[in-house]
Structure 1
Amino acid sequence: MNHLDQEQVPNRWSQGLSRAAADYALVCLSHLRWDFVYQRPQHLLSRCARARPVYFIEEPHRGGAQPRIERSRRDCGVNVIVPHLPREVDEDESEMLLRCLIDDLIVADRLRQYVLWYYTPMALGFTRHLAPAATVYDCMDELSNFWGAPPALRERERDLLRSADLVFTGGRSLHEAKQVVRPTAYLFPSSIDVSHFRRARAPQPEPPDQRELRRPRIGYCGVIDERIDLDLLAAAADLRPGLEFVMIGPVAKIEASSLPKRPNIHYLGQKPYAELPAYLAGWDAAIMPFSRNDSTRYISPTKTPEYLAAGRPVVATSIRDVVDPYGREGLVDIADEPAAFVAAIDRALQRPRRGEWLQRVDEFLARGSWDDTWAQMESLIGAAVRGDLSGVTRGGACSTI
């Protein structure tokens, strides 16, 4: 039974690449929702969609009588595919149904040559039977260290690290960890959409829910989950009652009731990516109050270069991929304990918004961009599709941010 509408994806093959490199669709298997937060997958795959069909397959929703696919197309050209499964099916049956739905998608859209791009190794359970032109694993987090990780995740990731044609990693410490299993992994750290966030350096219309807050404002933008040191946030707010702490982003995997409540802590919720520069423009400094635990051991926060592109001084805890290179180069202040953390905020508030520090920030950010990162990835994928990776440098760093 075909579970899909027979809508066809337009043929949008790239005109600038050889046929062998260009004639493929990209099918992404993700544990994230496309509309959750705008981060690495959105930056990369929206650029991919400029040249070829891209399908972003989310984890399934549970509920409904029959398995089906909900599909929609974003303005950037990405086709978002949301599987829906009956609530009562077990894991084995879920994977069987997902296998059928993916097969139907490939047949319905006549995907004769496609690349599988994994963000979740768990998708191997319903895609092992496929015959892609190439397989890519873009490892952006150590998912097995996150709360609620499936027991099978570590074993499936080992399988994917060994079998994928290409492995990309999103941070230096993560790259070192994955090289133990996959020595030829490529390092592609978080890049930056400089022009987007640089808008925050100029006056912007104040968002209504931030307009009435006093100054100075200290901001955080990102997912609020088990990686955030809520005790540190509460202590900082207590030690500096004259500062307004602005927390922007969705609350995930923790109870909202666990968030510290203080008169000077403000949770504004999730905001569209397009609106973030307007919020950052109204901050006097930015913070990354991450816990130091298993869930943050390998993270490489995308928000670090975004804050800097916005011209905001940054205070962060000692996350390895922030300490090196950002702390080492004097671009971000590092502190872990409450007293040291607020002292670093005090120093950040005194830092001139122009001059030598901002010049060094701009020189650093000029080393890489999402456009550059995608161009390097696309070249590697093209070589893999052609079966011609033998002449490509095996592993190593492909970006300097």
Structure 2
Amino acid sequence: MNIMFASHTYMGGPFVVGSHHLAREMEKLGHAVLHVSTPITPFHLLKLSNPDYRERFRILTGRSKNASPRLINSVPLSWFTWKMAGPIFQRTGKNWMVPSVKQLLRKNGMEQVDILFIDQPSFVGLEKLVKPKVTVYRPTDLYSKLTGNPSIAAAEAAILADAQALVSTSSPVLEELQGYNPQIPTLLLENGVEFEHFASCADEPEELRNIPHPRATYVGALDERLDREALLRLAQEQPETSVVIIGPHTPEDEAYFSGCSNAYLLGAKPYARMPDFLHHSDLALLPLSDHSANRGRSPMKLYEYAAAGLPVVVTETPELLRRQEDFLHFYRDSGDFPGKVRQALALQQDKERVRSLARSHAWDAKATRLLDFVSSL
């Protein structure tokens, strides 16, 4: 089949998301896959000092090679950002951000698209341009709550009015968005893990060699969805535990943890190296703030941590409690966090058993289940 993803995140950047994994797995199954991510605009030329924007322009201009002739990674051009186009869409129902993709489809032999997966709500209207046999809306977050932008809610309502199916990565997202179209067929399909990648290990990274055990490691962004206070309290109350933080950070983040000699901000690391940092840790951390968008999160990190054999100390959310995974150790507020970390470290769970719990969430099985669902429509 010819399959198209309209995603929020381009392939080849610092973040690897579910649409990337699903696209690769579907290409392995013999399908032709076009992965399109949020358009770049002429306004972004003013930000070319940012390596993220430079890489997106490289992809736009064809200077970034595709991994396979049957898996095309594309960043299209638009004249408008969603910040400009969103309010117009909310008033008129017309999306001036959606790029013309007909030439891109012809160039890649996709005059007919069989399945269009829309992950990014600002692509509303793309289904009318592409005219696929089946349109599936696949939200991975409560986007309107995450952004606080009412135009996103309007876009989601419009997509679901035309789509043939709703596939969500968490139960809260599914329940909330199904309200736009109660009759639409649905599938709950949690985010998965590239199991073989995270289950394998190389030598201890140089960056860890001077950091003493036990090491409690967090991987991800230091943004408003992170319970930073919990990490700080852990570092302050358990000086014998090394708190390792892997992800992009700012001077303000460094200042926040500056009083803790056992907090190590290592910066962003390539996806290819991430298993090595996890295999040489003792525990994984996923402290979530009370941000309303966290209620519907389906963190890929959970099963990536588990595939590396690590138990996880994580905030209680309705979605994560529903899963009943026994490698998860829940805490309720920042004050509980250090004690839960101490308990989890003392348990010394069997790493091979934790890995076995992650194996069933491998992306190849997720892709097959998703295609079987679409075929049944």
Normalising by structure 1, we get a TM-score of 0.78
Distance 1:206 1:61, change over 3 A: same
Instruction: Specify which structure has the higher proportion of helix.
Output: 2
Q: 1:75 matched to which residue of 2? A: 67
Per the alignment, do residues 105 and 40 of structure 1 end up closer, same or farther by CA in structure 2, a change over 3 Å counting? same
Alpha-carbon contact 1:70-1:84 (below 8 Å) kept: no
Moved over 4 A (4+): 85-90, 92-98
- Equivalent in 278, 281, 301 of residue 280 of structure 1: 278
Partners of 1:305 and 1:375 in 2: CA distance? 18
Structure 2 counterpart SS, 1:215: coil
Partner secondary structure for residue 316 of structure 2: coil
Give the aligned partner of residue 221 of structure 2: 223
Asked if the contact 2:166–2:178 (Cα under 8 Å) also holds between the matched residues in 1, the reply is no
Runs of 5+ consecutive residues of structure 2 not aligned to the other structure: 47-56
Question: Deviation per CA, 1:289-340, whole angstroms, max 9, x where unpaired?
Answer: 11122121111211112212211121111122222224xx532111133442
Q: Residue 40 of structure 2 corresponds to which residue in structure 1? A: 61
1:2-401 paired onto structure 2 within 5 Å: 22=1, 25-34=2-11, 35-50=13-28, 51-63=30-42, 69-71=60-62, 72-75=64-67, 77-85=70-78, 91=85, 96=96, 98-100=98-100, 102-114=101-113, 115-147=115-147, 150-183=149-182, 184-200=185-201, 204-251=202-249, 257-258=252-253, 260-261=256-257, 262-326=260-324, 329-354=325-350, 359=353, 361-362=354-355, 364-383=357-376, 389=377
Contact 2:307 2:359 (8 Å CA) reproduced: no
Aligned residues, how many?
Answer: 347
1:124 is displaced (CA, Å) by 1.4
Evaluate the alpha carbon distance shift between residue 84 and residue 136 of structure 1 in structure 2; reply closer, same or farther with a 3 A threshold: same
Contact 1:220 1:247 in 2 (8 A): yes
Instruction: Spell out, residue by residue over 1:250-278, the C-alpha distance to the aligned partner (whole angstroms, 9 max, x if none).
Output: 35xxx652462232222222222221110
Opposite residue 74 of structure 1, the aligned amino acid is: N
Bigger shift: residues 256-265 or 374-383: 256-265
Q: Evaluate the alpha carbon distance shift between residue 111 and residue 120 of structure 1 in structure 2; reply closer, same or farther with a 3 A threshold.
A: same
Contact 1:70 1:83 in 2 (8 A): no
Q: Displacement of 1:129 after TM fit?
A: 3.5
Identity of aligned residues (%): 24
Report the Cα distance in structure 2 between the residues aligned to 1:176 and 1:43, rounded to whole angstroms. Answer: 24
C-alpha contact (below 8 Å) 1:56/1:78 kept by paired residues? yes
Mapped partners of 1:295, 1:44: distance in 2: 23
Residues 292, 211 of structure 1: CA spacing in aligned structure 2 closer, same or farther, 3 A cutoff?
A: same
Flag the 1:32–1:340 CA change in 2: closer, same or farther, 3 A: same
Unaligned runs of 5+ in 1: 1-21, 384-388, 390-401
Q: How far does residue 288 in structure 1 lie from its aligned partner after superposition?
A: 0.5
Asked if structure 2 preserves the Cα contact closer than 8 Å seen for 1:220 and 1:246, the reply is yes
